[in-house]
Structure 1
């Protein structure tokens, strides 16, 4: 049986059909960029202090009722306490002056029983100021981010299996609709609990449509265009949305307006249903040869080339034979399931997501302006994804991923050696680490899609993404470790990178080989020797030498 790329070689690699699929799928990925990181602004904590009721106090006492604390060597007003109002009111009525007649350190303090007053110099409102998620309630902020990523984890897991069962296209648009709808409904949240529940459901669609779009494009496109899409096209589209987020947040500065701006434009993506086709590879794996041929013939018309009379005749015959004697593939499926979180591939994915999201959510450390911080963190990804595409284009996957993990770890470990006075050098090293982990991030998506056969590709990508999303769930807590030791987050992320680099040595190489269509082809690849361990070149089967890759 001919491989799929060979069967559709008459289409070429970059005709009108491929261009439409490439750019439309990239467009569907853009909302994931601002959807994945909008919590950076929604949960940011504005400057605040205890609110004061309208009571009769002198100007001196009104200015002094909030205690001054020293935090990291700097003096600032207390965020969670004030001097007891009844005592201050009596002292004010007696005409005593704070600091001259009264020693403020001797006064008793109380909590913010009348609520908080929030600064509006950066934000008009966030969910923090909306639901008072400060002081004793501040734990809810990290928990909110974790709930979102738990939704992303479950969505990645189940959407992969649904996509392999019902098709890539239905899952892509269903998860896009979930993300758009529940982002919009969040605007009407009346409590933190309601917001968090809706955020969880939103997370079910977030990234799931990214995975579906990634797999759909990987299966439709062939040759170097497939590598270009899966590494740079999809990832740069994500980064474009990421870079748009701080611009929207800067212009709007209100959490409800920001959510509306991020949800309503997604309505424009729904008509793309009539322009984005289903994966012919997936249709062939389901025995739906006529539908696959119909899509390819439409592509031939768009590309203005002549399609052969029969495109997938051998594929259809082979599929019928497999239905009559399914034992071989079924045996492979039973004894060799997709990777689980304990497998070698899951460890690099976990480390990649932990490092990527941990460093991304740590953007408040970069610049005094949170909008500029977020934009810098996003902009670093542009050269990183371009580098990832070049590496995938010209170098083997396995040693490239190992090297990028190690360089990320070295950059993070070096931060500990930088004096606190050289903050710009620390920022540069952190952005260098973000660059290398982003390169790894882009390569991992393409690598996973290349490893597994069509029947299980979306499930495998979903399960590996699930392992990665476990890293997402701990990333918000990982950032807070700097309260115990300043460089502890960097130590943890760097150590995970070293472990992942070692685990990546055990993953089969895919460079220069076509996508596997069956479990048998995948396991033939697994039996090849590891060149990074033996020092010998990995043998390539003769039937793969004429691959378009």
Structure 2
């Protein structure tokens, strides 16, 4: 019996149908590149001090030096951001030495921004926790979306979840510019986070299942990766010319409406349809693809006996997240993936949000940070063709950790070297973050692939939710965030050595086809693999031609 990829091999790998799917699904990742990272500018805190009604309301001025105490920040003496001297009415001196809070509000510098959410809702001093918490709210939305999008996509289909989440995300992103309070802003951004990761992960899975072999790899690295990097690179350009956060929000949201026509060009995943016992619908999609490619398909593409397993593919058995933990091999893959995703996400977003703590212009630093994404994806695309999966992930994480740990040895006066090492570390960690999407897609079987990727991505939001606070440490100690992230990267790199090799191998369809972990070069005996604790005996029924699965090294 032929497997799926052998059955549709007549389509070829790079016809008009594949090119269309590749381009459209890749471009759908552009908004994800700026949605969460736009908070670097939208929620930035400009220089500020207490407002004194008797003085000119413009920022700074000689009079403020007499009415506001000074404080030291990063070696520089500035006006206090949260305290002012108490005014005296019955005294020769206008101000006493006693201080009070900014009871009349704040004056914010407009040198860089016309407005941000911080200046509009005064998210400073006692409310300064709200700014990083806004990022945590976004990450919480990404976490929820990662979980439920996977479950819903595996249950109801990739296509419907992809388009519905993209539609809701675009509408809410537009409405965000009309927020009347910080609470309303957070509520909308939470929904945006849910929908953004839903559309991103589902597009990634949909493209991976519609494309095959080397095309799938190129899609995951260059297609989605470069589109995400493009969205990230567009962000500082938009932010540089649009300094008002509401106008910037509207400008960025308009991109989402360009994706409406995709509904008529992107089909459902035939792989998923087959696992649901809907072979006729899958065959109709393949025939339409063959027609677009100018190929005459066989008379009977998916024969009756093609069904992988009657019980599994008929749709009678519904899969849940518990299936990710039922068998030994599946459980090991899931737990290790979750751990690696948490650590990589923490490092990636920690370095991204930490750009404001680096010396130099934030727009330039953000653009350089985006440029590292392009370099990372280009390098990864080259290595992924020739280097085993079990080498790429550990190498990038271990190298990234080493570069970040070196920062603590750089003298304070060599700030340029610190920025260089930070950007180099971000470059290799970006490569690891992009690669882990491809690797995880190959590790999880079709019946729970989107769910597995969703749970891993959900776990990653724990890391991204913590990352704003890791970056916040940099306001007090510039090297401590790099020490923390470097150590975590080394740990994650060592853990990734346990994952099995998937290069040049067919995507697993069933849970019974999931590979065991690899411990160096040691190989388990076949009898051990087929023990009651292994996947062959402990999983759902495997087809006869897959009875030798699990005999690879463990």
Does residue 130 of the first structure (1) align with residue 132 of the second (2)? Answer: no
| 8 Å contact kept, 2:213–2:504 | no
Q: Using a 3 Å threshold, how does the CA distance of structure 1 residues 452 and 422 change in structure 2: closer, same or farther? A: same
Which structure 2 residues correspond to residues 271-282 of structure 1 after superposition, within 5 A? 271-282=261-272
Paired residue for 1:82, among 75, 78, 84? 84
SS of corresponding position for 2:345: helix
| 8 Å contact kept, 2:277–2:315 | no
1:423-456 CA distance string (max 9 Å, x none)? 1111111111101101101110000000111111
Which structure 2 residues correspond to residues 109-508 of structure 1 after superposition, within 5 A? 109-314=99-304, 316-320=306-310, 335-336=326-327, 343-483=335-475, 485-508=477-500
SS of corresponding position for 2:107: strand
Alpha-carbon distance in 1 for matches of 2:436, 2:201: 12
Q: Using a 3 Å threshold, how does the CA distance of structure 1 residues 535 and 394 change in structure 2: closer, same or farther? A: farther
Alpha-carbon distance in 1 for matches of 2:174, 2:88: 44
1:355-376 CA distance string (max 9 Å, x none)? 1000011111334322112111
Alpha-carbon distance in 1 for matches of 2:201, 2:417: 36
Match of 1:95? none
Match of 1:96? none
SS of corresponding position for 2:467: helix
Match of 1:99? none
Bigger drift between 43-52 and 310-319 goes to 310-319
Q: Using a 3 Å threshold, how does the CA distance of structure 1 residues 317 and 241 change in structure 2: closer, same or farther? A: closer
Does residue 534 of the first structure (1) align with residue 519 of the second (2)? Answer: no
Match of 2:68? 66
| 8 Å contact kept, 2:325–2:331 | no
Q: Using a 3 Å threshold, how does the CA distance of structure 1 residues 296 and 81 change in structure 2: closer, same or farther? A: same
Aligned residue-pair number: 524
Match of 2:534? none
Alpha-carbon distance in 2 for matches of 1:10, 1:470: 43
Bigger drift between 241-250 and 65-74 goes to 65-74
| 8 Å contact kept, 2:143–2:461 | yes
| 8 Å contact kept, 1:341–1:464 | no
1:381-406 CA distance string (max 9 Å, x none)? 10101112222221111122111111
SS of corresponding position for 1:299: helix
Alpha-carbon distance in 2 for matches of 1:156, 1:56: 50
TM-score, length-normalised on structure 1? 0.89
Q: Using a 3 Å threshold, how does the CA distance of structure 1 residues 316 and 288 change in structure 2: closer, same or farther? A: farther
Alpha-carbon distance in 2 for matches of 1:202, 1:398: 34
The gaps in structure 2 that reach 5 residues or longer are 525-545, 550-554
TM superposition shift of 1:342: 7.7
Alpha-carbon distance in 1 for matches of 2:459, 2:264: 33
The gaps in structure 1 that reach 5 residues or longer are 93-103, 545-549
| 8 Å contact kept, 1:2–1:315 | no
Match of 1:98? none
| 8 Å contact kept, 1:339–1:464 | no
Q: Using a 3 Å threshold, how does the CA distance of structure 1 residues 65 and 339 change in structure 2: closer, same or farther? A: farther
Alpha-carbon distance in 2 for matches of 1:144, 1:484: 21
Alpha-carbon distance in 2 for matches of 1:511, 1:341: 16
TM superposition shift of 1:483: 4.5
SS of corresponding position for 2:49: strand
Alpha-carbon distance in 1 for matches of 2:401, 2:502: 25
| 8 Å contact kept, 1:217–1:229 | yes
Q: Using a 3 Å threshold, how does the CA distance of structure 1 residues 414 and 225 change in structure 2: closer, same or farther? A: same
CA RMSD of aligned residues (A): 2.9
SS of corresponding position for 2:299: coil
SS of corresponding position for 2:29: helix
Alpha-carbon distance in 2 for matches of 1:56, 1:247: 33
Does residue 7 of the first structure (1) align with residue 7 of the second (2)? Answer: yes
TM superposition shift of 1:191: 1.3
TM superposition shift of 1:316: 4.4
Does residue 108 of the first structure (1) align with residue 110 of the second (2)? Answer: no
| 8 Å contact kept, 2:390–2:499 | yes
SS of corresponding position for 1:29: coil
TM superposition shift of 1:223: 1.4
TM superposition shift of 1:322: 5.2
Alpha-carbon distance in 1 for matches of 2:407, 2:323: 47
| 8 Å contact kept, 1:43–1:127 | yes
1:77-124 CA distance string (max 9 Å, x none)? 2211222233698535xxxxxxxxxxx9x7222221111111111111
Q: Using a 3 Å threshold, how does the CA distance of structure 1 residues 325 and 258 change in structure 2: closer, same or farther? A: closer
TM-score, length-normalised on structure 2? 0.88
SS of corresponding position for 2:490: helix
Match of 1:17? 17
